[in-house]
A and B are shown apart, each in its own frame.
Chain A
């Protein structure tokens, strides 16, 4: 049982092909692990145990019959509750969608099914993906398997917690300003934010449409690459989807970093709020890359310091419009009132949490006549400048590196009273979000408390293969144990 839970996605495929484990064995082991631990981790909002076992049994039957199987056959996956799942409750972590059952599958979910993955259920998240700790979920926070008194990061809190807790080998999350990378960093995982447009947004409940992007969580680079291959590729249902087929990410994964030009972002390492334990591990990792043959280059992203404020204009502006549809008329919560207009107002008052309301108000203000140019248009100009900074940097290097988040996992409640300190968690992840470029977080060790530290590896648009290759080289060299350990960690499964 232990072996099935700690195995990576590629290992689970190999076990099945060798006949050492069935898809049903694998699914059952993970469902049992969820049942045994999720009262403490609270990674899931909804577990689809019956559907998972049925899908696994189908994989076993087809394997026995010699029928062709998809690239994730029998591999369990947890899905962030932001993706529409046909007939399965999808709440986006919000009270306003309590009990909502979509009538269709998101493209990401459809592709997981088409790849014969076994979907275990829907994971907890900050309401509508707004937050960096998971504490903005209307259904209670998830906890970090490395220390159950700490947050797993957010907004893809449950997806990160589930993979760290060995409840699933893979999860999909979404990243608007860091919502995959930051929880991956805080939970000791590989988390990939792909190029904007590489993965279809169809069926992903929109937060900030020009930034939202789906991506995988895994405990290993190869697993993340495999999952990304499955969910990537053009989708005619999403006009912003890049019109080309999914890239081959596994072929060159083991090629190493010999001769790779790795840019070290000076501004990131000089940031005031960067925790010393994080800085030390990130610098170690960068030196390691040098020893592995990479050419280290100092680079500057002079406008990156304006990325965070620009993001907090653009994302709320888009969200204020995207979240208008939750009005009680067609689906989700409806609080009765005298008139339609009042019904909409009281429904939204009751259905949205504080952070969501805060961002809707900021965005509504920023888009208002008379303020639009000063806020929205200026923020878009900053976005252009940040994108140009990256373009300049990539003339001299192939990937950029720096910390993913300024600190390791913090205690539940530590930042809930101070939105700004929460926002600062995404200070390093937001620049590549604004540029629409890919970035990932790779575990590179622990701080003085034994909490995971993530290295962010960034690449130019559609540079996923190079980015994953660099991550894989460092992962192999570090050879860290992905299973949580520490005084207050979730217990490992019995061998």
Chain B
């Protein structure tokens, strides 16, 4: 709790933080219509009368989205409401097709859950107030001016995103530091990835996080005035924004001023929050039950089945991977990136855990970083990984060559690791006769080095091994080369 420590030294205030996290669901179709969900493509190409809010169109609830909501609720230990309802949240905004958002309000589908986080080795349980379903809005593009709506020449709206199902996960104000907030968001993300209900990319907005931050004197139980901070699009920016907001509020309170209840926008480049001009002076969304939709009443059998079919959750996964002998930092990477799915598929296909995990957490993650892509999107199946690990295990490939083959697979080369290795001539030379000839040539070419080895200078063998490797373009089995040289020079 490094942040709290610094705050305490200065002012004796404690931060009270709650997060509202939106998770964009990876269902096949939108929340209330049959439009496909996808990325890219022409603006407004994935729209229909329903998600464009055409007069007369009506919403129909996507059962797959309800299922995702229930599964997340169960994973978070929530009660699943036997009856929940959709309300209309009314306000005018150009990227909202109906000028109201269909959202759950006072009767959400999931209530009262919890999420365990670990910070600095200390485990804490963070309360989940609720999980509810709603629909996403479109996206506005403001042309001219600063790129924000004020001052622009004109605006264009893309409704491809309008109507994509969202789950909003609201935490209790149980978090006490930026570190805890980051840990909470990371853990929630890991749960979502384990469930496979969203790709949960903070940078791309398929997982979004708003933070409610207030301060109170240490030891007090009454909450201070709360500020909502928006626009954090990575774990790092969430941590920075909260730290900044804690410092800012501390300064305000220390100066004897009141904290203003408002919504503030996090500016990642400037590293500061600034007040967001509110849409209306007072937000009155005039919520009322949407008369176009019936209450959501999942039957108990369905809920029981979904509970029984829940996948392994991150805490259990971490313990299991640790049990395989994988080190904690590597386990964390596997769980946080979602690569544990690929690992598990490879393990199921017989791969050795340590080798497979190394290829994922070192090589694949490195490749993804270099290419600016999400590791989870890398085109590597568990079967392909298992094949690659097998090639290393049976001596066909060195780990260095395995890395090259992995890059070829990730680069989209067809055929699978073995075929790629053979096609590129990367297969390690373990043929004694073939290497014997090379060794003989190398020894003949550098009699001085050979003599030093014979004279007992063990280090001198390195130059000869290097020469063999050069001649075989790195494909020689290093262990075998050493053996052959030893035999050749110390007959």
Min Cβ gap A151→B in Å is: 26
**How many residues in B have their beta carbons less than 8 Å from beta carbons of A?**
31
- Chain A: interface size category: 35 or more
Q: Check A245 for interface membership: any CB of B closer than 8 A.
A: no
Given the contacts A203-B57, A239-B59, A317 and B288 also touching, CB distance less than 8 Å: yes
Q: Is the interface of B mostly helix, strand, loop or mixed?
A: loop
B284 touches A321 (CB 8 A): no
Contact of A330 among B52, B92, B293, B294 (CB under 8 A): B52
Q: Give the total number of A-B pairs whose CB atoms are below 8 A apart.
A: 105
Q: Check B60 for interface membership: any CB of A closer than 8 A.
A: yes
CA gap between A364 and B53 in the complex, in Å? 20
Min Cβ gap A434→B in Å is: 13
Q: Nearest CB to that of B34 among chain A residues?
A: A237
Q: Check B121 for interface membership: any CB of A closer than 8 A.
A: no
In the complex, per-residue mask of A74-116: 1 if CB is within 8 Å of any chain B CB, else 0: 0000000001100000101000010010111010000000000
A103 touches B49 (CB 8 A): yes
Q: Check A329 for interface membership: any CB of B closer than 8 A.
A: yes
Chain B hits for A84, CB < 8 A: 49, 54-56
Min Cβ gap B149→A in Å is: 7
Chain B hits for A240, CB < 8 A: 291-294
Q: Check A205 for interface membership: any CB of B closer than 8 A.
A: yes
Chain B hits for A367, CB < 8 A: 90, 286-288
Chain B hits for A92, CB < 8 A: 55
Q: Nearest CB to that of B98 among chain A residues?
A: A325
Given the contacts A329-B94, A367-B286, A369-B284, A321 and B88 also touching, CB distance less than 8 Å: yes
Given the contacts A239-B293, A330-B52, A340 and B149 also touching, CB distance less than 8 Å: yes
Q: Check B61 for interface membership: any CB of A closer than 8 A.
A: yes
Q: Check A202 for interface membership: any CB of B closer than 8 A.
A: yes
Min Cβ gap A373→B in Å is: 11
CA gap between A372 and B294 in the complex, in Å? 21
B55 touches A340 (CB 8 A): no
CA gap between A237 and B294 in the complex, in Å? 13
Q: Check A305 for interface membership: any CB of B closer than 8 A.
A: no
> Which residues of chain A (188-219) have a CB below 8 Å from chain B?
201-206, 208-210
Q: Check B157 for interface membership: any CB of A closer than 8 A.
A: yes
> Which residues of chain A (369-415) have a CB below 8 Å from chain B?
369, 372, 376
Q: Check B5 for interface membership: any CB of A closer than 8 A.
A: no
Min Cβ gap A104→B in Å is: 5
A210 touches B291 (CB 8 A): yes
CA gap between A234 and B391 in the complex, in Å? 60
CA gap between A104 and B56 in the complex, in Å? 10
Chain B hits for A326, CB < 8 A: 55
In the complex, per-residue mask of A329-343: 1 if CB is within 8 Å of any chain B CB, else 0: 111000000011100
CA gap between A318 and B88 in the complex, in Å? 10
CA gap between A203 and B48 in the complex, in Å? 13
Chain A hits for B60, CB < 8 A: 236-239
A344 touches B292 (CB 8 A): no
Q: Nearest CB to that of A104 among chain B residues?
A: B49
Given the contacts A364-B286, A367-B286, A340 and B94 also touching, CB distance less than 8 Å: yes
Q: Check B369 for interface membership: any CB of A closer than 8 A.
A: no
Given the contacts A318-B291, A367-B286, A102 and B54 also touching, CB distance less than 8 Å: yes
Min Cβ gap A360→B in Å is: 11
B59 touches A321 (CB 8 A): no
15 contacts between A and B (CB under 8 A): A84-B49, A92-B55, A102-B55, A104-B57, A202-B56, A206-B292, A240-B293, A317-B288, A324-B92, A325-B97, A330-B52, A339-B150, A340-B149, A340-B155, A372-B286
Beyond A324-B90, A330-B53, A372-B286, list 7 extra A-B contacts (CB 8 Å).
A202-B57, A202-B58, A203-B56, A238-B58, A327-B94, A344-B94, A368-B286
Enumerate the 3 nearest inter-chain pairs by beta-carbon distance, A residue then B residue, closest first. A324-B99, A210-B291, A367-B286
Interface residues in chain A, defined as those with a beta carbon under 8 Å from any beta carbon in chain B: 83-84, 90, 92, 97, 100, 102-104, 106, 201-206, 208-210, 236-240, 317-318, 320-321, 324-327, 329-331, 339-341, 344, 364, 367-369, 372, 376
